[in-house]
Structure 1
């Protein structure tokens, strides 16, 4: 009994430190998910970050009025969005006559405009470290957000926005944005500060109060683990730039903008499809994804209380009885969200 209690305590501490930030490795995708040949690469230059790839999937009916940005999690790769690689959500959106915009890259970026390129203790990237391994071993390697300053919010709301209009005819107003974990928080940030561009924002398993006690250090650990990034390069502690990124702080703006919000987190219990995989993989998914999603649920519930205390009437909350910190959960949540989002964009 004592050993079980200690293990539970250890798991709880690890989960508290790694919180609902998407630190669990993305779980196995459904069989239908993968690179979609119907989608295409759309390159746009950022004056700060250089050429940035976005994957585009056109609406089935050919309209250009209904547009949604699907934002990735902390382990975003430079190759393909997790939404395309690990789910069939882009195809479902396109079938519902919604144009899908999937920015590629931005690992640990929070889709924010950073204060400086990421480095540690003033040591520039490329000075040390190993090219193998992950997390802390990557801290001194060069690469996205290290050899240059991340400038994602400006890119999404300026260069990419107008390039989509000018080259594809996409409507630059009343778009939607949604994402998991890091991307969920970022979707709310984009909607809060760019209400003409985003009339809808969805957060799945997001961390929506980054100024709560312990959160900054938890995010620090998360960013080191997800590519070796330094939170201090993103925003100085507790200053205006940091507070600007906190959904708990800017909640009144979301209400004043009358942004339609979809706020969701799973229960931490497995769905049936989480159990229909080999035993070892299912056990791993449950052990890692359960505690993380339980904490995501607690974090999201706190944001719900904040919004309710402000009298918000513009939010749909989704707390399903099952759902781990896994792509299976986020895919099912997107299915639930799509009708409401469809009615509130364009």
Structure 2
């Protein structure tokens, strides 16, 4: 299936309002669509004019098995240390600042709600996971140990050096970071009682997903996905698939906020269309795939009985920071009520 066929299938689905049997063929188109811009911070996204480096934050360095890792910390306006949330980046996370700081205003807004915001920096293509080996396709010098870093090294350093509460925290992320947020909450419920996923890939065992992720990691820095969770038949893939570990989230009582756009662009994307129709098309395709994944995850949660989850599906929205920022602000009252 070519990229043009993927987009044609998306258009047909939108026109008919149904998800026909061609959804499987659309999923197989991930090999094309994901390879271009899965979780990219360069989707031509429309960011608020005020968003940029926020001088109110400070660099917080912590030693780890990967070497010193920087996070950016934004303190709650009232100075409390009880209410803490981690914001996770997308696949093309940079090593200087988080996309959340560069492309959104959450670092300015959430502290005014008396929430301490922690933005880990780096982790390109990592899924914030503990890998089994360094990638051998790009001479990666160390093995990623992001889950250990977030749940031990960073967590303990925030407690010991800043007095931050190490329990009852929140975690949210977009795309790659959305999937990772649910994984962290599932396996570390004492640390994370709240998890949010925006445009996350929450059914990675679906047809085409593993192949698409392989191509996406190669495109985003030349990473070999076999170094992450092993070959496709390795149980580690199931361990990191939200669709598979959904019962843990339900049993833990984790408060979840799960969202996805429709893949349909709106007025806010006018600049995208004028400046870079190619990236906008990819953002539409990726969000449609994220929608299918998120709907599958919703069906899985529903099959388990009542759960502590909110699902928000917007009629307009592509894979872009503009929409992820909106979703954070929509979630904010619920997040605030469930921290600390």
TM-score by length of 1: 0.87
Match of 2:217 among 213, 223, 229: 223
Answer yes or no: is the 8 Å Cα contact 1:21–1:206 preserved in 2: no
1:185 aligns with 2:179: yes
Match of 2:239 among 240, 244, 251: 244
State the shift of 1:23 in Å: 4.5
1:323 aligns with 2:306: no
Match of 2:68 among 29, 46, 51: 51
State the shift of 1:290 in Å: 1.2
The answer for unaligned runs of 5 or more in structure 2 is 12-25
**Deviation digits for residues 158-214 of structure 1 (CA, Å, limit 9, x no counterpart):** 010010011011000000000000000000000000000000000000011112232
Matches within 5 A, 1:194-343: 194-236=188-230, 237-275=232-270, 277=271, 279-281=273-275, 283-343=277-337
Worse-superposed segment, 295-304 or 208-217 = 208-217
1:100 aligns with 2:95: no
- In 2, distance between residues paired with 1:100 and 1:29? 19
SS in 1 for 2:77: coil
- In 1, distance between residues paired with 2:180 and 2:5? 36
**Deviation digits for residues 64-111 of structure 1 (CA, Å, limit 9, x no counterpart):** 100000000000010000000010012111111100000000000000
State the shift of 1:13 in Å: 7.5
- In 2, distance between residues paired with 1:6 and 1:301? 19
The answer for unaligned runs of 5 or more in structure 1 is 121-139
State the shift of 1:8 in Å: 2.2
Match of 1:16 among 30, 36, 39: 30
1:65 aligns with 2:82: yes
1:153 aligns with 2:147: yes
- In 2, distance between residues paired with 1:222 and 1:5? 19
SS in 2 for 1:50: coil
Answer yes or no: is the 8 Å Cα contact 1:70–1:177 preserved in 2: yes
SS in 1 for 2:125: coil
- In 1, distance between residues paired with 2:306 and 2:106? 28
**Deviation digits for residues 138-158 of structure 1 (CA, Å, limit 9, x no counterpart):** xx3x4xxx1000000000000
Answer yes or no: is the 8 Å Cα contact 2:284–2:318 preserved in 1: yes
- In 1, distance between residues paired with 2:313 and 2:268? 18
Answer yes or no: is the 8 Å Cα contact 2:264–2:316 preserved in 1: yes
SS in 1 for 2:63: strand
Answer yes or no: is the 8 Å Cα contact 1:21–1:207 preserved in 2: no
Going from structure 1 to structure 2, the CA distance change for 1:9 and 1:80 (only over 3 Å counts) comes to same
Answer yes or no: is the 8 Å Cα contact 1:39–1:55 preserved in 2: yes
- In 2, distance between residues paired with 1:6 and 1:253? 34
How many residue pairs were aligned? 318
Answer yes or no: is the 8 Å Cα contact 1:211–1:238 preserved in 2: no
- In 2, distance between residues paired with 1:106 and 1:25? 16
- In 2, distance between residues paired with 1:249 and 1:13? 18
TM-score by length of 2: 0.89
1:37 aligns with 2:37: no
Aligned residue in 1 for 2:19: none
Aligned residue in 1 for 2:16: none
Going from structure 1 to structure 2, the CA distance change for 1:6 and 1:94 (only over 3 Å counts) comes to closer
Going from structure 1 to structure 2, the CA distance change for 1:162 and 1:6 (only over 3 Å counts) comes to closer
